[in-house]
Chain A
């Protein structure tokens, strides 16, 4: 747990970002069966050049090791996109990646 894969690519003036976060995303049901606490990513934010470009409040119904994609404008090749997630237990992971 605790890292993610990011791919960011410029196409025209749009930056396409693909992310895979490593997280078990245990729902309350699954956790109950295993006898552990539920834990899942509750918030994901992406920033580029100091501006928020993606902001999601998420739930237990995202898949295990959730993958997601989004697009935004206002960044160029060589800029960095920084993605942060927080889970139910308060763990935070931030990773950044240069836009290709």
Chain B
């Protein structure tokens, strides 16, 4: 009976653990990153006090976005990367996304994002060499996308 009880308990425990999809869920491991109100604080919350090297990261976005609700942004880098993080300074919170780059992965990510107003998009690439590379782009948003 005891054994049976033990077994059923372990089944319950296994069911409670959320299905973890990946190595790192940055929303769970770095919660402060997602509530930071400016890019500087967000980077600090995610990576700590790091020196940013301005090279090797390209951020592409339209100069003028007519619809702030869906702005295509592309982040590209030739650096061997561990993680990539995307920030902007127009919305109430700064962090847009954090990617874990699989070993040998290609950093070429496009996603459509929302921006409330004109601002600057910043991408940080954490290199496997331990350095942090940064790239950014400023754009104008004709119609803000956060009001829905």
Contacts and interface: CB of A to CB of B under 8 A. Distances in A.
Give the one of A25, A26, A53, A56 with max B CB within 10 A.
A56
Contacts, number: 121
Contact of A59 (B74, B93, B102, B106): B93
Interface string A52-92: 11111111111110111111111000000000101000101
B111 A68 contact: yes
Contacts of B147: 29-30, 33
Nearest to B69: A63
Contacts of B48: none
Q: How large is the interface on B (under 10, 10 to 19, 20 to 34, 35 or more residues)?
A: 35 or more
A53 B102 contact: yes
B96 A71 contact: no
A69 B143 CA distance: 24
Interface of B is mostly: loop
Contacts of A63: 69-71, 112-114, 145
A43 B25 contact: yes
B115 interface: yes
B34 A67 contact: no
Given A61-B115, A64-B69, A51 B34 contact: no
Interface of B: 18-19, 21-27, 34, 69-72, 74, 88, 91-93, 95-102, 104-106, 108-115, 145-148
29 contacts: A27-B146, A29-B146, A30-B148, A33-B147, A42-B27, A43-B22, A52-B22, A54-B99, A55-B22, A55-B24, A55-B99, A56-B97, A56-B111, A57-B98, A58-B96, A58-B97, A60-B93, A61-B114, A61-B115, A62-B112, A63-B70, A63-B114, A64-B70, A66-B111, A66-B112, A67-B72, A69-B74, A70-B110, A72-B102
- The 8 closest A-B CB pairs, nearest first, are A57-B26, A63-B70, A30-B148, A63-B112, A69-B110, A68-B111, A55-B100, A45-B21
